[in-house]
């Protein structure tokens, strides 16, 4: 590998990636195939919102490594299925070693599914989240230009809390906005995947 400036690393395939995605195969594949591509379907947005909430206090690699387990444990993040979980499901999840066994986050995911289901009459979760897309966005030139939160992510966090969501702080919501393509924080010269269509659900 070689350096492409201080903030990008060129891999053996000749592609420049940010340091966080340059060496670990799991993170590199996530960056190459998913991160920053538009996600506009309910299940896709709910899954990523849920995983970002579980990531709080942990590394993103830890979450990615357990993603298949999360999908199996949470019914592939189908909103109606998760919304129907009861206390027996919470107990089951607390015993499931494939996921992060944190009661507050598990219970929040169930509540958030119920809140997401309730939003369908007013356009749905995905449309609501995307409505906070900034009207203007200055592409970052360096890592120092990338904020940890913005006015829009703070407004999104407040809006989701008002709808009954939890574990949706402004920093977590900015990470979600990056991950699903609402804001573009690719650095100049960095490899970026090409979306196969207008949406990238899973």
In the set 31, 35, 60, 130, the catalytic residue is: 60
Q: Where are the alpha helices (DSSP H) in the chain?
A: 25-33, 42-55, 60-65, 67-73, 79-83, 87-94, 103-118, 125-130, 151-162, 170-179
Does the pLDDT at position 171 exceed 60?
yes
Tokens of 178: 């990056």
Q: Please, what is the Cα angle at 51 between 66 and 183, to 5 degrees? A: 130
Tokens of 145: 């230009």
Mean pLDDT of 155-175: 98
Q: Is 30 a catalytic residue?
A: yes
In the set 30, 31, 35, 130, the catalytic residue is: 30
Residue-wise pLDDT for 77-127, tens only, equals 999 999 999 999 999 999 999 999 999 999 999 999 999 999 999 999 999
Cα 57 from chain centroid?
15
> How far is the C-alpha of 51 from the C-alpha of 74, rounded, in Å?
11
CB 199 within 8 A of CB 40: yes
Q: Please, what is the Cα angle at 86 between 130 and 94, to 5 degrees? A: 90
How sure is the predictor about 139, in pLDDT bands with cuts at 50, 70 and 90? confident
In the set 7, 42, 47, 52, the catalytic residue is: 52
Specify the range with the lowest mean pLDDT, choosing from 70-74, 138-142, 159-163, 170-174: 138-142
Crossing angle for the helix pair 103-118 and 87-94, to the nearest 10 degrees:
140
CB atoms within 10 A of CB 132: 20
Look-up of token digits 């969501």: 165
């Amino acid at each position: 590998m070689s350096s492409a400036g201080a903030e990008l690393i060129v891999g053996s395939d000749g592609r420049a990636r940010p340091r966080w995605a340059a060496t670990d195969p799991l993170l590199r594949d996530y960056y190459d195939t998913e991160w920053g591509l538009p996600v506009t379907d309910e299940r896709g947005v709910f899954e990523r919102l849920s995983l970002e909430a579980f990531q709080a206090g942990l590394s993103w690699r830890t979450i990615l490594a357990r993603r298949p387990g999360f999908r199996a444990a949470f019914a592939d993040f189908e909103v109606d299925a998760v919304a129907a979980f009861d206390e027996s499901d919470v107990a089951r999840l607390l015993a499931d070693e494939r996921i992060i066994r944190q009661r507050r986050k598990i219970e929040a995911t169930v509540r958030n599914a119920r809140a997401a289901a309730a939003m369908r009459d007013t356009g749905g979760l995905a449309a609501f989240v995307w409505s906070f897309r900034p009207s203007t966005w200055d592409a970052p030139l360096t890592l120092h230009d990338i904020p940890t939160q913005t006015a829009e992510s703070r407004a999104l966090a407040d809006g989701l809390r008002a709808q009954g969501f939890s574990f949706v702080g402004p920093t977590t919501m900015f990470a979600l906005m990056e991950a699903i393509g609402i804001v573009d924080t690719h650095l100049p010269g960095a490899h970026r995947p090409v979306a196969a269509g207008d949406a990238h659900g899973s």
